[in-house]
Structure 1
Amino acid sequence: MQVSVLFSGGKDSSLAAIMLEPFFDVELVTCTFSLLPVGDIARETAEKLGLASRVVCLDRSILEESYEMIVKDGFPRNAINHIHRSAVEYIASEKKAAFIADGVRRDDRVPVIEHSQARSIEDRYGVHYICPLKGFGRAAVNEMVKEHLVIEEGPSEGIIKSDYETELRELIRQRNGPDMVGELFPSHVQSRVIERKKT
């Protein structure tokens, strides 16, 4: 069986993919709006993990809707969750999709899909949506990452990644300048996977 894992190149989606390897043929799927070369970054990371990957281009209207949300709200939660839900729906709509996974952890608020939204996607498209890390908190995930991955960590603006936030930040920078990016996104640490640890 194949599972499509939404992949940002960070530790959570990478760890989720590794956890699914004993049960599935894992395919890493990175979603982009072609605003930045995030697909190239994701492919490089996927190669280092030794996993199949592909990049899909989402409709630019999703990014525009998310831009309107973040500017209106003044914070990124709803905007990023909107992109994530749209990405899951896009993968679910593909005929070959049967299992879709992501790296959402137990205490995450962004990105996250509500239970009712997940059920709706499963029912409408006949797919299974799974979150391998849903039972794990941040500290537990970090311990597992130490065992399996070599990562680079730092502030969001300093880490090159393939997540939704990267292109949303870039659109805001282009339209409103870097100061607005700092106002809308709280400072937080991001990760990028360098390689898989040899076992």
Structure 2
Amino acid sequence: MRIQVLYSGGQDSSLAAVLLEPFFEVELVTCSFGSPAWKHAQKAAGAIGFPFRTVKLGPEVMDGCIGLILKHGYPRYGINYVHMKALEAAAADSEYIADGTRRDDHSPVLSMPEIKSLEMRTGAQYIRPLAGYGRHAIDALVKKHFEIVEGAAIEKSDYESEIRSSIMEKYGKETVSRLFPLEHPQSRVMRRLQK
């Protein structure tokens, strides 16, 4: 059975892929709005030994995302919207789809009604292999399986970097700082330690 795993090149989506590997033929999928940021995920996918592809999301998805962020004054609903669109895009080519969202995540994360709607609309089964893991357990598993780099300015292929760039282009740096006030650490996988 083949599964499409949404992939940023970071530790969580990499760990999700490894946890699914015994049960599925894993393919990593990065959704992009057209920037070359997907290349960071492609490099990480190669480093951990999984096939990789990209899916381009249309400008209407970015516009919808930015509209939600501006409406609510923070990024959660916009990022969740993009995440749903990315899962829908992955589901167009697979019976099984997954991501690296964790138990303690606030965004992106789908509610149970959203998950059921996604599955009914697409016919794909959605799996969250990290949904039962807390931060400390994930950190221990990542340390065992990957060499990573971490920091606030790590280049990877997540939605947020393209969303920030688009908002900066349209509304300026002050708007980005207001809507994304907190910097959170990022990670990118450099290599797999064991298989």
Structure 2 unaligned regions, length at least 5 = none
Counterpart amino acid of residue 99 in structure 2: D
Question: Where does 1:33-112 land on structure 2 (aligned, <5 Å)?
Answer: 33-34=33-34, 36-92=35-91, 94=92, 96-112=93-109
Match of 1:192 in 2: 188
Residue 166 (structure 2) aligned to one of 157, 163, 171: 171
Aligned-CA RMSD value: 1.2
Tell me the CA shift for residue 151 of structure 1: 1.0
2:33–2:57 contact (8 Å) kept in structure 1: yes
Structure 1 unaligned regions, length at least 5 = none
Q: What is the distance in 2 between the residues matched to 1:8 and 1:127?
A: 21
- With 46-55 and 189-198 compared, the bigger mean Cα shift is at 189-198
Structure 1 runs, 4 residues or longer, greater than 3 Å off: none
SS in 2 for 1:192: strand
When normalised by structure 2's length, the TM-score is: 0.95
When normalised by structure 1's length, the TM-score is: 0.94
Tell me the CA shift for residue 124 of structure 1: 2.1
Tell me the CA shift for residue 167 of structure 1: 0.3
Tell me the CA shift for residue 28 of structure 1: 0.1
Match of 1:23 in 2: 23
Match of 2:131 in 1: 134
- With 162-171 and 187-196 compared, the bigger mean Cα shift is at 187-196
Q: What is the distance in 1 between the residues matched to 2:21 and 2:190?
A: 19
Query: Could you give the per-residue CA deviations for residues 78-104 of structure 1, whole angstroms, max 9, x where no partner exists?
Result: 010000011111222x2x411100001
Q: What is the distance in 1 between the residues matched to 2:145 and 2:100?
A: 15
Q: What is the distance in 2 between the residues matched to 1:43 and 1:189?
A: 20
Identity %: 46
SS in 1 for 2:54: strand
